[in-house]
Amino acid sequence: MTLRACALALAGALALAGCATPKSGPDAPPEAVAAAAYRHDGPPALTLFTMVNNSSGGGEHTSLMINASQRVVFDPAGSVSHPQLVERGDVLYGITPALAELYERAHARETYHVVIQRIEVPPAVAEQALQLAMQNGTVAQAFCTQATSGILRQLPGFESIRPTFFPNALSRQFGALPGVTTRRRYEEDPDDKSLAVDAFFDGAAGG
């Protein structure tokens, strides 16, 4: 196979792997990140989100919610954005129960469902995951699963995770870990996830 053919094959694979729509807008400043910090009272845990195309069954995005000294979502090359949503370096901050619910609902719509896999971990492991996510920086398009698997495989207890570009492949690996619980979320909302995001913040402002 020629170098050009290899490059085209890789580009096609990355497109199939998803994460193709970048966020818009600049990073939040450090003071906004600090002000948004939310500490959830649940146990330390990692929650892997896999967005699956309802027609093809293909995984098209991967992200990771981390409950440590604060709760965040590492949303590499993600597309959930809003002026009131605090994001820096592909990490969403201030993930209250309402925002965690919004994140799921925004991705579960008529064209996609969300596979939600959660595992409780020791506090030190959760904190290591948080620090790795915060230090990772903005992720290039189509590299969401590669970035997430790269963080996971550095954690104690997750050494079996192999690097991959494919969301469903990472979901299978994560699901094989002892203690993981799995659920799926389906919604019938329109395909445009920004509608759910805008409705949430408009309601919050009005209420």
Confidence of residue 22 (pLDDT cuts 50, 70, 90): low
Assign 2 a pLDDT band (cuts: 50, 70, 90): low
State the pLDDT at residue 84: 80
Helix axes 97-107, 193-206, angle to 10 degrees: 150
pLDDT of amino acid 90: 96
Residue 16 has pLDDT above 80, yes or no: no
Q: What is the reported pLDDT for 204?
A: 57
- pLDDT, position 81: 77
| Beta-strand relationship, 71-74 and 59-67 | antiparallel
By the 8 A CB rule, do 147 and 76 touch? yes
Residue 178 has pLDDT above 90, yes or no: yes
109/13 Cα distance (integer angstroms): 24
Query: 59: which DSSP letter?
Result: E
CB atoms within 10 A of CB 17: 25
Q: Where are the chain's structural domains?
A: 13-206
- The mean pLDDT value for 93-110 works out to 92
Span 65-88, mean pLDDT? 92
Question: Of 4-18, 36-50, 121-135, which gets the smallest average pLDDT?
Answer: 4-18
Q: What integer pLDDT is reported at residue 3 of this predicted model?
A: 46
pLDDT tier for residue 199 given thresholds of 50, 70 and 90: confident
Half-sphere exposure of 151 (CA within 13 A, CB side): 30
Is residue 191's pLDDT more than 70? Answer: no
- Phi/psi region, residue 22 (left: phi>0; alpha: psi -120 to 50; beta: rest), is beta
Place of tokens 């969401």: 144
